[in-house]
């Protein structure tokens, strides 16, 4: 929690200090009011006292003083609430912003480490818990101890019997706090983890709803959700039931303490004997009145002590989860991306549009098996290099090393003759365009999806967008959409078909005019005719652009200048289509499983 608090800026710290100052003022005023109750009690017992002596439109009357102090106390409470709300809103906004930017800098390794449902929970639910501590905590955490301690100091020397009753009440409240610390607080720490699990199951079920229905797996998913839901529910029930004991116990303590004070006071008043001497009766009655007045004031202060402890106990509703949440948020903020980029590119490109792998190997962790081993090749400007192999052979991993989604474990990867690790982030991603296996579209419209980010071709006007769409074979279906380039795009592009999304993703990458473009199995959702036309257009209009293509279809890569055949992370064949077809067994197996011998030999 302290690490999170260190992220507060000067303005927020100032608002907290002002809030605490007003809390102290509020406590002072609340503890000052019982003194005037004593004055009113004495006036009421004094013969000849009139109503105007208690309440009049001047500050000398104790009743007016109580009202004015109550109004000032109310105003100070409002100010404390205002500062608390402003601080909480400001701090939580910056925390969300910091987490979002931290996550954007994560590589796939960090994303997998935390998981997407957990990152969503940390960005929303966890920060809400921290925000709750500020909105309630500044008032409760600070006011409770100050009120309890201050009230005790004002009545500690009043009467030993009353003090004993107060000590017993405080001891019972301490036992309640001890119970919460031992039994409830550890359970509070589990809630966020169980919430992560619940979010994960829910997200999985919703994103895979079609598969669930297709396999009649509703009952299976229901059982998974029910278990995660029951875990959260049962834990919350335990915590809720434990906390539910607070209200009756605290009511019993406050009522019992009031009863004890009045019972002790009654005996003390009774013990003051009325003397037989008439001249001494007035003095004895005055002592009884003073004792009664002290009893009323003591009772008021004792209630303030109880209220202070009730506020401290209320902290246990919010503080344990906030501590856990702050740790989870801080874990994200302190996690450095495993792929550091220099602030500025440290070398100037010696050639344009080239990609070179020099004895590159990659493994996801030090102890895991190698996904790629000793891969070497060079693509010159304008060439088309293709990668093919069985599922899991490392094709996508290989091309993902170029834009540095991962870093090579061994060897060197050069783009334009420079090690990719020497490029700053913006420069590298202007040179390298990337189209993922699964086309990703963002909510907005066609234009906003095409003109996102900064590129070599920014800003994009409508003509440039239409040109890219025409090249990617996407112009026709966009023209048919109402609004055309302003046609809405739903989240994830759910209002487009798989092939349409893929063509839009291809158009987006082409519109950036990169020197090198990576197609990571980006033609898989296209029909053969569209695939053929698209490749033909690319060859004509992007002759100077280096193209790296990962594909499952032989027909997609037959015209490539160089084809690398991968098998279990190793390059087992390298050459043109005709060379590999003549000499490479792995390539032959893939090729003949898709096309006839005549089609392969004719290059169709």
Between 404 and 289, residue with greater pLDDT: 404
For 499, half-sphere exposure in the C-beta direction (CA atoms, 13 angstrom radius) is 13
Between 567 and 276, residue with greater pLDDT: 567
Between 10 and 53, residue with greater pLDDT: 10
- What pLDDT does residue 6 have? 81
Are 590 and 388 in contact by the 8 Å Cβ rule? The answer is yes
**Average model confidence (pLDDT) across the chain:** 82
490: phi then psi, degrees, rounded to nearest 5: -75, 165
- What pLDDT does residue 58 have? 64
d(CA 453, CA 145): 52
The tens digit of pLDDT for each residue in 64-99 reads 778 888 888 889 888 988 888 888 888 988 889 988
d(CA 183, CA 386): 61
Sketch the domain layout of the chain as residue ranges: 2-334, 355-602
471, β-bridge pairs:
none
CATH superfamily of 2-334: ABC transporter type 1, transmembrane domain (1.20.1560.10)
- What pLDDT does residue 385 have? 92
The tens digit of pLDDT for each residue in 526-561 reads 778 888 888 888 888 888 889 999 988 888 888 888
Q: What angle do CA 343, 347, 349 make, to 5 degrees?
A: 120
For the chain, the C-alpha Rg in angstroms (whole number) is: 37
SS3 520: strand
The tens digit of pLDDT for each residue in 357-403 reads 999 999 887 778 888 999 999 999 888 999 998 888 888 889 999 99
Q: At what angle do helices 498-511 and 528-541 cross, to 10 degrees?
A: 0
Portion of the chain with pLDDT greater than 70, in percent = 90
pLDDT-derived band at 294, boundaries 50, 70, 90: confident
How are beta strands 418-419 and 410-415 bridged, if at all? antiparallel
Domain 355-602, CATH = 3.40.50.300
The tens digit of pLDDT for each residue in 315-340 reads 766 777 788 788 888 888 888 877 88
Between 68 and 63, residue with greater pLDDT: 68
| Residue 203 DSSP symbol | H
Checking phi first, is residue 159 left (phi over 0); if not, alpha (psi -120 to 50) or beta? beta
pLDDT-derived band at 54, boundaries 50, 70, 90: low
- What pLDDT does residue 450 have? 86
pLDDT at 438 over 60: yes
- What pLDDT does residue 577 have? 87
For 474, half-sphere exposure in the C-beta direction (CA atoms, 13 angstrom radius) is 27
- What pLDDT does residue 44 have? 63
Are 571 and 565 in contact by the 8 Å Cβ rule? The answer is yes
Residues 279-284 have a mean pLDDT of 66
- What pLDDT does residue 358 have? 92
Residues 448-473 have a mean pLDDT of 84
pLDDT at 100 over 80: yes
Are 514 and 456 in contact by the 8 Å Cβ rule? The answer is yes
Between 245 and 124, residue with greater pLDDT: 124
- What pLDDT does residue 112 have? 81
413, β-bridge pairs:
357
d(CA 400, CA 405): 6
For 416, half-sphere exposure in the C-beta direction (CA atoms, 13 angstrom radius) is 23
SS3 358: strand
């Amino acid at each position: 929690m302290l690490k999170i608090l260190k992220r507060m800026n000067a303005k927020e710290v100032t608002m907290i200090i002002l809030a605490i100052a007003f809390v102290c003022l509020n406590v002072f005023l609340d503890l000052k009011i019982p003194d005037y109750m004593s004055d009113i009690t004495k006036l009421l017992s004094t013969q000849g006292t009139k109503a105007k002596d208690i309440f009049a439109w001047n500050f000398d009357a104790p009743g007016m003083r109580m009202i004015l102090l109550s109004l000032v106390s109310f105003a100070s409470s409002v100010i404390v609430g205002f500062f608390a709300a402003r601080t909480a809103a400001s701090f939580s906004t910056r925390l969300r912003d910091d987490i979002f930017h931290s996550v954007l800098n994560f590589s796939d390794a960090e994303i997998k480490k935390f998981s997407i449902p957990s990152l969503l929970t940390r960005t929303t639910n966890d920060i809400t818990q921290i925000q709750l501590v500020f909105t309630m905590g500044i008032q409760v955490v600070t006011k409770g101890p100050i009120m309890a301690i201050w009230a005790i100091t004002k009545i500690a020397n009043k009467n030993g019997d009353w003090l004993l009753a107060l000590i017993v009440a405080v001891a019972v409240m301490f036992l309640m706090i001890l119970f919460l610390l031992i039994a409830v607080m550890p359970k509070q720490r589990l809630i966020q983890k169980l919430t992560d699990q619940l979010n994960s199951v829910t997200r999985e079920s919703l994103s895979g709803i079609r598969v669930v229905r297709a396999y009649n797996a509703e009952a299976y998913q229901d059982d998974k959700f029910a278990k995660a839901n029951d875990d959260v529910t049962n834990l919350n029930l335990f915590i809720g039931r434990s906390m539910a004991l607070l209200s009756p116990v605290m009511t019993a303590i406050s009522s019992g303490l009031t009863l004890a004070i009045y019972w002790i006071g009654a005996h003390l008043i009774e013990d003051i004997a009325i003397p037989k001497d008439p001249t001494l009766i007035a003095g004895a009655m005055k002592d009884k009145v003073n004792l009664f007045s002290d009893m009323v004031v003591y009772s008021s202060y004792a209630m303030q002590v109880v209220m202070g402890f009730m506020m401290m106990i209320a902290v246990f509703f919010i503080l344990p989860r906030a501590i856990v949440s702050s740790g989870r948020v801080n874990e994200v903020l302190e996690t450095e991306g495993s792929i550091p980029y220099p602030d500025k590119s440290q070398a100037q490109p010696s050639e344009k549009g080239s990609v070179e792998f020099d004895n590159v190997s990659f493994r996801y962790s030090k102890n895991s098996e190698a996904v790629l081993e000793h891969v070497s090749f060079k693509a010159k400007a304008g060439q088309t290099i293709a990668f093919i192999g069985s599922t899991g052979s490392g094709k996508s991993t290989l091309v993902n090393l170029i834009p540095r989604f991962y870093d090579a474990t061994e060897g060197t990867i050069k783009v334009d003759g420079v090690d990719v690790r020497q490029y700053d982030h913006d420069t590298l991603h202007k040179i390298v365009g990337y189209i993922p296996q699964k086309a990703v579209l963002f909510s907005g419209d066609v234009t906003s999806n095409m003109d996102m980010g900064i590129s070599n071709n920014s800003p994009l006007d409508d003509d440039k967008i239409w040109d890219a769409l025409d090249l990617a074979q996407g112009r026709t279906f966009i023209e048919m959409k109402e609004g055309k380039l302003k046609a809405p795009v739903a989240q994830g592009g759910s209002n487009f078909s798989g092939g349409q999304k893929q063509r839009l993703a291809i158009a987006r990458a082409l519109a950036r005019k990169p020197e090198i473009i990576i197609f990571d199995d980006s033609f898989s959702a296209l029909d053969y005719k569209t695939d053929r036309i698209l490749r033909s257009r690319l060859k004509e209009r992007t002759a100077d652009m280096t193209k790296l293509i990962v594909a499952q279809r032989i027909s997609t890569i037959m015209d490539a200048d160089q084809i690398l055949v991968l098998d279990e992370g190793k390059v087992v064949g390298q050459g043109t289509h005709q060379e590999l077809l003549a000499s490479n067994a792995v390539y032959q197996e893939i090729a003949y499983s898709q096309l006839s011998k005549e089609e392969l030999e004719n290059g169709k």
